[in-house]
Amino acid sequence: MINEIKLPKLKEEYRWNLLKQQFDLDPSNVMYKEIKESLNRILHYVYSYTDIKFIDFIDEKVLYGYIKYHISINFSIVDFMQVLKDIKNFIFFLENIKNRKAIPKVDFSTSNVRLWLRL
C-alpha cells in the first residue's frame, strides 16, 4: 500500500526535476536576469497544466494555452505584455541558448486573427 502511494509522487518528482533541468540557465549567461523569471513561469505552467516531460514537446498549442491560462486568472500574476514577453523569451532560450532546430511558430501579429478570436 505504501509503495502504491509513493510511486505517483516519485513519478511527479522525477518529471519536475527533469523539466527543471531542461529549463536551467547558466547564471553567467548575459541574458540570465532578463529571461530567468519568464522561464520559471513557463516551467510552472508546463508542469502544472500539461503532461510534458521534455521541452522539445512544448509547441504553439502549449504556448497559446499559457496565454489562455493568464486570461483565465485575469492576469493576476503578470500582465498581458509580460505573458507575450515570457513566450518570446522562451523562444529565444530554445533558439539561442539550447540551440534547438524545431522552434514553436508563434505569431502575435494583428494579422493572426484566428489566434485573437480564439483567445
**pLDDT tens-digit series, residues 41-77:** 999 999 999 999 999 999 999 999 999 999 999 999 9
Q: CA–CA separation, 21 vs 25, rounded Å?
A: 9
Quickly list DSSP for 63-75: HHHHHHHHHHTTT
pLDDT at 115 > cutoff 80: no
- If one compares 30 and 61, the residue with the highest pLDDT of the two is 61
pLDDT score for 31: 85
Q: Please compute the mean of the pLDDT values over residues 76-87 and round it to a whole number.
A: 96
Tell me the CA distances in angstroms from 78 to 26, 53, 74, 75, one per residue in order: 24, 25, 9, 5
